[in-house]
Amino acid sequence: MPAPLADKIRPETIDDVVGQQRLLGKGKVLRRIIETREIPNLIFYGPSGVGKTTVARIIAQAAGKRLHKLNGTNASVSDIKDIVSELDTIAGAGGVLLYLDEIQYLNKKQQQSLLEYIENGRITLIASTTENPYFYIYSAILSRCTVMEFKPVQASDVQQAVHRAFGIIGKERNEDYTLEKGVPEAIAGTCGGDVRKAINAVELLALAAPLQDGKRIVTLSDVSEITGKSAMRYDRDGDAHYDILSAFQKSIRGSDENAALHYLARLLEAGDLISPCRRLLVTACEDIGLAYPQAITIVKACVDSANQLGLPEARIPLAQAVILLCTAPKSNSVICAIDAATEAIKTTDVGDIPLHLKDTHYSGAGKLGRGLTYKYPHIYKNDYTAQQYLPDNIKDARYYTFGENKTEQAAKTYREKLLSEDKGELK
């Protein structure tokens, strides 16, 4: 069975790797480390198809150590023990370099079995993962490794790989490929920064290319059929999911409706209707809050409409909600207030509820002194009279601060009016 094109064109040197110049460019940290040939324990973190395995292989070739490869999806403790057993043999005299792909799939026991040998330097670990290592990798392993984050490859860099792939496949098959204008850009633009995906598309396009006048023709329509919609980075249980939601809410908070609509579109294109609905509801209270109290009501109506309509029509009321929140005045006074109150409960001896506020709906409450001095506000002028509501230990605590927006300032003015006019007078 012939090897996939992606394996055939895998770079052999750092200079051949596309993208990751922030790590591999001239004078950059990872490149300098590789050039020393004294390799520390490393964890490569990033999405698939961005060069993690390729760079690990290049490092292994330069390290001068015996190379072992394991994949976390099927590796066992016995596989690790087999590698450890080699350390006391001639083959392992110079140390072993272990390349461990998808390390996040190893359980804690499996990861712990490596600790002693990583620490004493007899095993040099280069691990790769598509998941956030700070969530999925045992902390003792993390403390002995340096995490290098690989980013999705820019489309301009992917185009280099696309041209190279067509050149190699043409040479291998002794055929000429003519690319319609815009083909490399289209392939690079729909792979989501995944070079492997782009190369796989090239391989399929080469197989499907019709022969005209002795040349294979690759058209934009063929690219569209094979690649489909853009391969956005999205995983409902992974980093991409939370990164998009984070960017979505922060764009609304920052009053940038164009960015917020972009992230909404990414969520909806991935078929995720629930997440943006939930985030819009919380954003209406967390970031707009009392600056525009009606926002939550309107957003709830938009969310209910979206859930009744379903996709694709759901995008319309959700877009309305996004634009409303982005263009609305902002206030975080609500979340600040509840967070302050929660923190006080956790760190302060708040004491007992005042007697006059305790429940009186049972016989004998009066004998316990409960509710005897409670003042019913509605019988007083302006439906207000001063009395203590907080427990004695924190009676002067203040959690809420009026925001600077028009609505909260109006509420502040009204509160000050109540306080200034309160004489304890009955209606």
List of long-range contacts for 413-421, beta carbons under 8 Å, 24+ apart: 417/382, 418/382, 418/384, 419/386, 421/381, 421/382
Cβ contact 215:204 at 8 Å: no
User: What would the pLDDT profile of 142-168 be if each residue is shown by its tens digit?
Assistant: 888 999 999 888 888 889 889 988 988
Residue with tokens 């087999």: 82
Higher pLDDT, 240 or 262: 262
Asked whether residue 236 carries a pLDDT value surpassing 70, the answer given is: no
Asked whether residue 298 carries a pLDDT value surpassing 70, the answer given is: yes
14's tokens: 């750092």
- CB atoms under 10 Å from CB of 76, counted, come to 11
* Residue-range domains of the chain with CATH: 20-149 (3.40.50.300), 155-227 (1.10.8.60), 239-327 (1.20.272.10), 349-421 (1.10.3710.10)
Mean pLDDT of the region 329-357: 93
Helix (H) or strand (E) holding 358: none
Residue 115: pLDDT band with limits 50, 70, 90: confident
SS3 content of the chain, % helix, strand, coil (to 5): 55, 10, 35
Q: Is 180 exposed, middle or buried (0-12, 13-18, 19+ CB in 10 A)?
A: middle
Q: Is the dihedral of CA 334, 336, 339, 344 positive or negative?
A: negative
Q: Is 21 exposed, middle or buried (0-12, 13-18, 19+ CB in 10 A)?
A: middle
User: What would the pLDDT profile of 376-403 be if each residue is shown by its tens digit?
Assistant: 999 999 999 999 999 999 999 999 999 9
Most confident of the following: 273-287, 343-357, 361-375:
273-287
Asked whether residue 254 carries a pLDDT value surpassing 70, the answer given is: yes
Residue 302: pLDDT band with limits 50, 70, 90: very high
410's tokens: 């109006």
For residue 5, what pLDDT is reported?
Answer: 75
Distance CA 175, CA 65 (A): 40
Q: Where are the alpha helices (DSSP H) in 94-179?
A: 108-112, 115-119, 133-136, 139-142, 155-173
Q: Say what the alpha-carbon torsion angle 32, 35, 40, 45 is, to the nearest 10 degrees.
A: 60
Asked whether residue 34 carries a pLDDT value surpassing 70, the answer given is: yes
Most confident of the following: 1-10, 111-120, 224-233, 384-393:
384-393
Mean pLDDT of the region 214-235: 74
For residue 296, what pLDDT is reported?
Answer: 97
Three-state secondary structure string covering 301-333: HHHHHHHHHCCCCCHHHHHHHHHHHHHCCCCCH
Q: Using DSSP, state whether 124 is helix, strand or coil.
A: strand
Distance CA 235, CA 243 (A): 10
Least confident of 33-37, 279-283, 347-351: 33-37
Nearest CA-CA partner of 33 in 143, 124, 95, 140: 124
Residue 411: pLDDT band with limits 50, 70, 90: very high
Asked whether residue 239 carries a pLDDT value surpassing 80, the answer given is: no
For residue 120, what pLDDT is reported?
Answer: 78
Least confident of 46-60, 207-221, 227-241, 392-406: 227-241
Nearest CA-CA partner of 151 in 29, 18, 267, 251: 18
Per-residue burial over 348-374, b if 16 or more Cβ lie within 10 Å, else e, is eeeeeebebbeeeeeeeeeeeebeeee
For residue 234, what pLDDT is reported?
Answer: 53
177's tokens: 């490929």
For residue 238, what pLDDT is reported?
Answer: 54
Least confident of 223-237, 331-345, 350-364: 223-237
341's tokens: 């109150």
